[in-house]
Amino acid sequence: MTSLRGKTALVTGSTGGIGKETARGLARRGARVFLVGRDPERAAEAARELTRDSGGGPVHAVAADLTLREGLRRVAGAVSDGCAQLDVLINNFGMNPAGRYLTADGVETAFAANVLAPFALTRLLMPRLEKSPAARVVNLTGGIPRGPVDPGNLQAQKTFVGWTFGQYNHTKAALMAMSYEYAQRTGSGTVTINVAYPGHAYTPGNKATPMRAFPRAYRPAAPLVRLLGPILLADLAKAARSSIHLAASPEVAHVTGAYFNAKCRRVPWPDFAAEPRTRAAVWSLCEELAGDDRT
């Protein structure tokens, strides 16, 4: 097990599910971990549990809603006040809302959670990441991320759920395009940016997803997934492996702009993620929605 003693990591969406197991794995390796959740009590309890369990680095809780610019600024401020540098940022937080809802900032919720939050938080924390000699940013895709990405439907202006298409999968595909572009723009500096696919797991978020959030063609299979999920997909530690690998393994210390599957293997980017016009469209919208926030 690679030691992360002396390192500081931030894991979003880490009061439960894959994010919590990822935070647990990093703490067990000795990292000082900041975990983020929307509910203050749940975040505090998760931090206490992981601190007791890890036998390694301390775990701190930050309560914030990452679908909002104010929440992103709160997390960035807490990390910046609490440490001189950030060595690992894992953008694990995601949402699969049942319909098209706008946040208080006027952004479609799935896009705000799954694309804009990783973009904006990485940008806000870049000054701390750049102070690390070898910082790593890991963005999690999920679901069935497949293209094409429709630049005219990034915020589900035209369609939220189709027969084989859903906004959750669409935004996770857009996240991959944004991450690819971010890695190209960061270049060969001290910060690496990669994407991890965790595979399928039965998480609290999956359990709470209503039927109408699924693409229509997949709805007949949803009851079977909910029946077998707690049996076949209950190992959340397995789903956290790809994130932990990218955060800690010496093998990928200098790898950037790459996509890793659930078995921690580097695989080719899907065509839609590497397509220049798609990347440019997603990047442009993220810049527009994030505004001029910096730390």
Burial class (CB in 10 A: 0-12, 13-18, 19+), 226: middle
Contact 73, 108 (CB under 8 A): no
Q: Which of 168, 182, 197, 259 is catalytic?
A: 168
Annotated active-site residue 182? The verdict is no
Q: Omega of the bond prior to 270 within 30 degrees of 0, cis?
A: no
Residues 6+ apart with CB under 8 A from 172: 94, 114, 141, 142, 143, 145
CB atoms closer than 10 angstroms to residue 208: 10
The pairing of beta strand 266-267 with beta strand 259-260: antiparallel
What is the C-alpha to C-alpha distance for residues 202 and 207, in angstroms, rounded to an integer?
7
CA-based nearest residue to 205, from 104, 97, 45, 99: 97
The set of catalytic residues is 168
